[in-house]
């Protein structure tokens, strides 16, 4: 008798936990992709048979007659928004109903992670987005530009010293540039990872941001959400404690040094520190506690990670596309040489950002090879999607419902971008740029939650590309895999086979430039 009861109870538990959630979209009468227990619609991704972008894009086209459809990210039901007008409505007009991102890791496990702007919720997010946004305005970027420029030139000098061909997988190589560039640009810390590859800063960065747990993170981010008990049980953290302690020390020492020597350097560290202190003063709180330091440390760690990773991948993707499209590369080199000659070795921010062809290349790069595959939101107030198409009924969304925007798929839709897999900067030329549908061109997301650093990364990539192409040409090698194969192991857009490109020192450079 007891045995039968236990079996029944277990059966009921398994049904409720594993099988019942699979009915989520069916009972709501919403078109959906049939899921499997536990893995939902991600089996091909888990088995590395398809990249996440491939899975989402296949479904985007399969459900193209629908404005939305149901998807299961493991056990979590998420509403995929296929229609770019509906996406805009959710992200901008009705933002207050969809104000937060997914949190990925249950709160309280990783205190540094909980403080990130991306993760913060409600009024707290608003307050901290405001503080951090001050570091990313056009005005602040113009002020920071001279440091960024000096830093790019310093890295190039170190790199170009031997005038040798750089060969092999560009990813670890660009990572060194990203490390030196990010540390200098954000905190004024100079390190030379080309001549000193064993420096502690690079080592900690690699261990903190690229450890195996981190690598799996973006994929298992959904698993964190789906199986929070595992995360709690194993105390999985995004930022390892060693990395946190290391950056805490750096931040403390740098701030103390600046104060002692009366140094004001306008960079991320300075602006964040000022913003937080100002905020605390306004709220009449004590500015001298560990919380403030940790606040700065976690924001810097988050931004350092975002910059280190996205800068590396974007630049690698850019090198790949230019190596495969020598005509585009040559035209860009001509524009760079002319600009450099005209500005007599002192490149101003507005001149860089005003370069016409550079702008076209950058925008196309972000369309085809931007790293973000999707953006997501959580319903924060009950909301109803009103019917528009004849087959639709009102969809009532409850608080906590997960929403996904397949940004990658919008930008691969031929109705918005003809011949979408072609790298074609001409889409953004004077004649064509007004045809770009901004509802679908969303490399950085949309609305108040849009990427806070979209201006910064745009300056950084253009600046580094400018300096690299002043001295080098990118050429494919016999190891370059053509066409581009997207990684099935990562949930951001990166190459499955690395970036085997040669950087050949240019023979046609006018040495008087340097």
Q: Pick one of 441, 444, 466, 474: the residue that binds ligand HEM (CB under 6 A).
A: 444
- Does 450 participate in binding ligand HEM (rule CB under 6 A)? yes
- Does 451 participate in binding ligand HEM (rule CB under 6 A)? yes
61 phi/psi in degrees, rounded to 5: -75, -35
CB of 457 to ligand HEM, least distance (A): 4
Q: 492, 514, 493, 496: which is closest to 505 by C-alpha?
A: 514
CB of 445 to ligand HEM, least distance (A): 2
Hey, what are 10's tokens? 């277990």
- Does 465 participate in binding ligand HEM (rule CB under 6 A)? no
Provide the β-strand partners of residue 495: 486
CB of 222 to ligand HEM, least distance (A): 16
Q: Map tokens 């894009």 to a residue.
A: 57
- Does 314 participate in binding ligand HEM (rule CB under 6 A)? yes
Of all residues in the chain, what percent are helix, strand and coil, respectively (each to 5)?
55, 10, 35
Q: Sort 312 into a burial class: Cβ within 10 Å, 0-12 / 13-18 / 19+.
A: buried
Hey, what are 144's tokens? 């920071």
Residue 496 three-state SS? coil
* Binding site as annotated, residues: 451
- Does 306 participate in binding ligand HEM (rule CB under 6 A)? yes
Site string for ligand HEM, 66-105 (x = CB under 6 A): -----------------------------------x----
* Binding site as annotated, residues for heme: 451
Q: Which regions of 242-401 does DSSP assign to beta strands (E)?
A: 375-378, 383-385, 395-397
- Does 307 participate in binding ligand HEM (rule CB under 6 A)? yes
- Does 329 participate in binding ligand HEM (rule CB under 6 A)? no
Q: Which is nearer to ligand HEM, 331 or 455 (CB)?
A: 455
- Does 131 participate in binding ligand HEM (rule CB under 6 A)? no
Hey, what are 430's tokens? 């004077």
Q: 432, 447, 473: which is closest to 166 by C-alpha?
A: 473
Inter-residue contact 71 to 41 (CB < 8 Å): yes
Provide the β-strand partners of residue 99: none
- Between CA 172 and CA 469 the distance in angstroms is 19
Q: Which stretch binds ligand HEM (CB under 6 A): 11-19, 78-86, 240-248, 452-460?
A: 452-460
- Between CA 259 and CA 261 the distance in angstroms is 6
- Does 166 participate in binding ligand HEM (rule CB under 6 A)? no
The H or E element containing residue 296 is helix 290-324
Provide the β-strand partners of residue 40: 36, 73
Q: Which stretch binds ligand HEM (CB under 6 A): 148-156, 188-196, 258-266, 305-313?
A: 305-313
CB of 376 to ligand HEM, least distance (A): 7
Inter-residue contact 80 to 60 (CB < 8 Å): yes
Q: Which stretch binds ligand HEM (CB under 6 A): 67-75, 274-282, 303-311, 396-404?
A: 303-311
Site string for ligand HEM, 338-377 (x = CB under 6 A): --------------------------------xxx--x--
- Between CA 306 and CA 186 the distance in angstroms is 12
CB of 205 to ligand HEM, least distance (A): 14
Hey, what are 32's tokens? 């959906």
CB of 87 to ligand HEM, least distance (A): 9
Q: Which is nearer to ligand HEM, 187 or 375 (CB)?
A: 375
- Count of residues that bind ligand HEM according to CB under 6 A: 24
Q: Which is nearer to ligand HEM, 300 or 469 (CB)?
A: 300
Give the binding site for ligand HEM (CB under 6 A): 101, 117-118, 129, 303, 306-307, 310, 314, 370-372, 375, 443-446, 449-453, 456-457
């Amino acid at each position: 008798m007891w045995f039968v009861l236990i079996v029944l109870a277990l059966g009921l538990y398994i049904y409720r936990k594993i099988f019942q959630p699979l009915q989520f979209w069916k009972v709501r009468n919403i078109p959906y992709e049939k899921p499997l227990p536990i893995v939902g619609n991600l089996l091909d991704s888990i088995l590395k048979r398809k990249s996440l972008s491939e899975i989402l894009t296949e479904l985007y086209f399969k459900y193209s007659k629908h404005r939305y459809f149901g998807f299961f990210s493991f056990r979590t039901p998420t509403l995929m928004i296929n229609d770019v007008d509906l996406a805009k409505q959710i992200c901008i007009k009705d933002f207050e109903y969809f104000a937060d991102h997914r949190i990925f890791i249950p709160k309280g496990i990783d205190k540094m992670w909980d403080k990130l702007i991306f993760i913060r919720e409600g009024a707290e997010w608003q307050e901290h987005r405001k503080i951090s946004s001050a570091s990313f305005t056009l005005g602040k970027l113009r002020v920071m530009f001279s440091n960024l420029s000096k830093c790019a030139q310093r890295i190039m000098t170190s790199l170009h010293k031997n005038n040798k061909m750089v060969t092999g997988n560009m990813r670890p190589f660009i990572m060194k540039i990203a490390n030196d560039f990010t540390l200098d640009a954000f905190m004024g810390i100079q390190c030379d990872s080309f001549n000193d590859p064993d420096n502690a800063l690079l080592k900690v960065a690699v261990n903190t941001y690229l450890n195996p747990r981190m690598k799996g993170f973006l994929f298992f981010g959904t698993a964190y959400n789906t199986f929070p008990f595992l995360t709690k049980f194993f105390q999985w953290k995004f930022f390892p404690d060693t990395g946190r302690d290391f950056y805490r020390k750096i931040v403390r020492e740098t701030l103390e040094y600046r104060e002692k020597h009366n140094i004001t350097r306008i960079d991320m560290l300075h602006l964040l520190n000022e913003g937080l202190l100002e905020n605390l003063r306004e709220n009449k709180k004590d500015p001298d506690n560990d919380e403030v330091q940790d606040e700065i440390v976690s924001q810097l760690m988050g931004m350092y990670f975002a910059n280190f990773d996205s800068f590396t991948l974007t630049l690698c993707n850019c090198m790949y596309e230019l190596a495969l499209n020598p005509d585009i590369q040559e035209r860009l080199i001509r524009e760079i040489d002319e600009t450099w000659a005209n500005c007599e070795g002192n490149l101003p921010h507005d001149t860089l950002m005003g370069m016409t062809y550079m702008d076209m290349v950058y925008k196309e790069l972000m369309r085809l090879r931007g790293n973000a595959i999707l953006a997501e939101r959580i319903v924060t107030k009950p909301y109803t999607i009103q019917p528009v198409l004849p087959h639709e009924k009102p969809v009532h969304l409850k608080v906590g419902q997960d929403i996904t925007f397949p940004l990658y798929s919008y930008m691969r839709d031929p109705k918005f971008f003809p011949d979408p897999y072609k790298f074609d900067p001409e889409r953004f030329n004077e004649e064509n740029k007004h045809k770009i549908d901004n509802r679908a061109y969303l490399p950085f997301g949309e609305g108040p939650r849009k990427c806070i650093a979209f201006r910064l990364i745009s300056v950084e990539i253009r600046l580094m590309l400018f300096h690299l192409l002043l001295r080098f040409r990118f050429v494919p090698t016999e190891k370059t895999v053509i066409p581009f194969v997207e990684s099935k192991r990562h949930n951001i857009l990166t190459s499955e086979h690395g970036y085997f490109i040669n950087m050949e020192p240019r023979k046609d450079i006018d040495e008087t430039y340097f």
